[in-house]
Amino acid sequence: MRAIILAAGAGTRLSPLTNGCPKCLVRVGERPLIDYQIEALRAVGVSEFVVVVGYEADQVRAHCGPQTLYIDNPDFPTTNSIYSLYLAREEMNCDLFLFNCDVLFDGAVLQRMLDGGRPNVVAVDSAAPLVSGEMNVVFDAEGRVDEISKQVPPDRANAMSIQLVKFDATGARVVAAAVEELIAEGRKEVFPTTAYAPLIAAGSLFAAEGGDLPWAEIDSLEDYDHAVTHVLPRLRRG
């Protein structure tokens, strides 16, 4: 199984932690953030790693080593993560996990995403406070996702996305094709979730609950402090 980790951005909202340091190598406790991700992925059988790099790419290469496939996004200052995913589209031809480099999470959520035989799965937190502008998710009683977007109002959402996604080979190819179409239309500013639309229309994207497990998306210094204070200690106990 493969994992694609999008790690090209400069992480300016985490300055000064990211001054001269790529976001994925920012230390959370004693280890760089990406190390927690790779360890969790290996624990569920992932053996191939693809990392899309941009800001301070050489540092990422030096840290992760030659066993990782690196894809360069030279336009990282002016594009969103959809473009990083576009550059990695040829690697979307098998079962895979996809996420950004800034999510700290309990590895048990990955196993939940694999269990149950669902083809395509997004991890969600139904206990999180729902607010406007976050990646909110709407799904039915069977967990089938009807919508996932930062435009979903809190009063319609069931949960917040944990920003971890798993696709089977067919789903990955469908998303890759949708990404190509979005980029051909010049829509480099959208989030990768926009490319999930064909899966949602086909009823083949499902939600897996992970809100009872510790996790944090680390976009800002406030997020970082929360991750170190409240998430990391629970990971250590797990």
pLDDT surpasses 80 at 237: no
* Most distant CA atoms of the chain, gap in Å: 47
Q: Dihedrals φ, ψ of 163, to 5°?
A: 70, 30
Residue 238, pLDDT above cutoff 60: no
Query: SS3 string of 87-154?
Result: HCHHHCCCCEEEEECCEEECCHHHHHHHCCCCCEEEEEECCCCCCCCCCEEEECCCCEEEEEECCCCC
Rounded CA separation 135/124 (Å)? 10
Write down the pTM of the prediction.
0.95
Q: What is the mean pLDDT of residues 3-22?
A: 97
**Mean pLDDT value of segment 102-117:** 95
Q: What is the pLDDT of residues 86-98, one digit of tens each?
A: 999 999 999 999 9
pLDDT of residue 188: 87
CA dihedral (94, 117, 81, 203) positive or negative: positive
| Nearest to 99, CA basis, from 109, 152, 90 | 109
207 and 124 in contact (C-beta within 8 Å)? yes
Residue 139, strand partner residues: 145
Q: What is the pLDDT of residue 236?
A: 61
Query: Which whole number is the average pLDDT over 202-207?
Result: 98
Question: CA separation (Å) from 61 to 2, 102, 119?
Answer: 18, 17, 32
Fold adopted by 2-237: Spore Coat Polysaccharide Biosynthesis Protein SpsA; Chain A (3.90.550)
Work out the pLDDT band at 80, boundaries 50, 70, 90. Answer: confident
Q: Is the dihedral of CA 223, 230, 56, 72 positive or negative?
A: negative
Mean pLDDT of 202-221: 97
Q: How far apart are CA 101 and CA 146, in angstroms?
A: 26
Beta bridge partners of residue 50, listed in sequence order: 4, 69
Average of per-residue pLDDT values in the chain: 96
**Tell me, what's the pLDDT at 197?**
97
